């Protein structure tokens, strides 16, 4: 984990796993993701290619291998397409899950959100693979982009990459999630309309504006239909954003079981920060202070009229019930 267990590069990759592979021809829209990527090293024969016959003249010095350590030997691992994805949802707790699971020695995850299956699909799978951290055969490659869950094309595109992909969805009370979403937007755009104004087309009639993304994301049952056309429920694991706060070790234990890896992350890795209101990571054997998520996590929510909250609870109730029935789990949001 960057700043906690290892040192990371510009793409959130552990230097313990090797430098990122040379990236080819990014367009202007991809410069932000690739700005810190290293330039291409001079080409040289790969291990699978036979070496060219020696020339009579003195040979030029061999090019430095990308990802070599100080001893000159290549760093281990291969860049692979992810076997698991955290696909949603925004403001549900996806960053916490990513940071927690990166503690596991059998998982390597991209630190940034590549938005491949929603915004950058046209760049191709080779571009996507080039962003991934290096992994050993025994390790899982994982990435997180919470907007995938509400992107209509994402399930088909992920299925076309690999029908065996394991999917993690972090869900949270949709009313609380919407307020958290609004709070984050308000911190960046203080002149936006009120939460109440954005939530309703006509509040007196109880007409909720489902075109507002903060409301629409919480209609989990609606979005899940798209995923079940391509993936069975057995390949989708639902994480409770509420239990991730109250029982992080329990939720992470179930995630580790779902990924088919040993339960390495336990209650010894967590410390509850009463100021922020959520758990922070710690090294069990270390005396260093626990590492909490960034300042943007744990913001105090905007105060909302209780009547507005009640109206939204009623709006979400049928969607929640259908979601519970579909996934076979009661998240107790009512």
More confident residue, 14 or 200: 200
Q: Is residue 188 part of a domain?
A: yes
67 is annotated as contributing to ligand binding: no
94 is annotated as contributing to ligand binding: yes
pLDDT band at 272, cuts 50/70/90?
Answer: confident
CB 149 within 8 A of CB 169: yes
- Tens of pLDDT, residues 292-329: 765 555 568 799 999 999 999 999 999 999 999 999 99
Q: Is residue 140 part of a domain?
A: yes
Q: Is residue 21 part of a domain?
A: no
199 is annotated as contributing to ligand binding: no
Q: Which residues pair with 279 in a beta bridge?
A: 272
Q: Is residue 60 part of a domain?
A: no
Task: Say how far apart CA 109 and CA 239 lie, in whole Å.
Answer: 18
The CATH number assigned to the domain holding 146 equals: 3.40.50.300
CB 2 within 8 A of CB 12: yes
229 is annotated as contributing to ligand binding: no
Q: Is residue 256 part of a domain?
A: yes
Look at residue 294 in the predicted model and tell me its pLDDT.
57
CA distances, 289 to each of 1, 12, 249, 272, 292 (Å)? 15, 22, 19, 12, 9
Q: Is residue 6 part of a domain?
A: no
CB 129 within 8 A of CB 80: yes
Q: Which of 91, 144, 166, 282 is catalytic?
A: 91
Domain count, the chain: 1
Q: Which residues pair with 278 in a beta bridge?
A: 273
Task: Say how far apart CA 206 and CA 196 lie, in whole Å.
Answer: 11
Q: Is residue 70 part of a domain?
A: no
91 is catalytic: yes
pLDDT band at 278, cuts 50/70/90?
Answer: confident
Q: Which domain holds residue 275?
A: 78-327
pTM for the complete prediction? 0.75
Q: Is residue 243 part of a domain?
A: yes
- Tens of pLDDT, residues 148-193: 999 999 999 999 999 999 999 999 999 999 999 999 999 999 999 9
């Amino acid at each position: 984990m960057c700043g906690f267990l290892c040192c990371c590069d510009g793409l959130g990759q552990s230097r313990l796993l090797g430098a990122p592979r040379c990236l080819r021809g990014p367009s202007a829209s991809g410069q932000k993701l690739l700005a810190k990527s290293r330039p291409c090293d001079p080409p040289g024969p790969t291990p699978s290619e036979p070496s060219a016959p020696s020339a009579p003249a003195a040979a030029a010095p061999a090019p430095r291998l990308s990802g070599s350590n100080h001893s000159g030997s290549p760093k281990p691992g291969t860049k692979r397409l992810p076997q698991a994805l955290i696909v949603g949802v925004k403001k549900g707790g996806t960053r916490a899950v990513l940071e927690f699971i990166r503690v596991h020695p059998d998982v390597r995850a991209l630190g940034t959100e590549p938005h491949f299956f929603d915004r950058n699909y046209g760049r191709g799978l080779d571009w996507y693979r080039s962003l991934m951290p290096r992994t050993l055969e025994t390790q899982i490659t994982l990435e997180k982009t919470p907007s995938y869950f509400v992107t209509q094309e994402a399930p088909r595109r992920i299925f076309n990459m690999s029908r065996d992909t394991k999917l993690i969805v972090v869900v949270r009370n949709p009313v609380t999630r919407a307020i958290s979403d609004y709070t984050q937007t308000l911190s960046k755009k203080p002149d936006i309309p009120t939460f109440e104004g954005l939530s309703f087309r006509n509040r007196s009639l109880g007409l909720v504006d489902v075109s507002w993304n903060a409301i629409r994301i919480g209609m989990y049952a609606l979005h899940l239909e798209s995923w079940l056309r391509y993936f069975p429920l057995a390949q989708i694991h639902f994480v409770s954003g509420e239990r991730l706060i109250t029982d992080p070790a329990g939720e992470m234990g179930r995630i580790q079981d779902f990924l088919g890896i040993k339960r390495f992350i336990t209650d010894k890795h967590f410390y509850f920060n009463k100021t922020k209101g959520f758990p922070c990571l710690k090294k069990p054997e270390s005396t260093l202070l626990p590492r909490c998520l960034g300042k943007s996590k744990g913001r105090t929510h905007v105060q909302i009229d209780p009547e507005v909250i009640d109206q939204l609870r009623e709006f979400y109730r049928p969607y929640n019930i259908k979601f519970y029935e579909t996934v076979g789990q009661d998240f107790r949001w009512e």
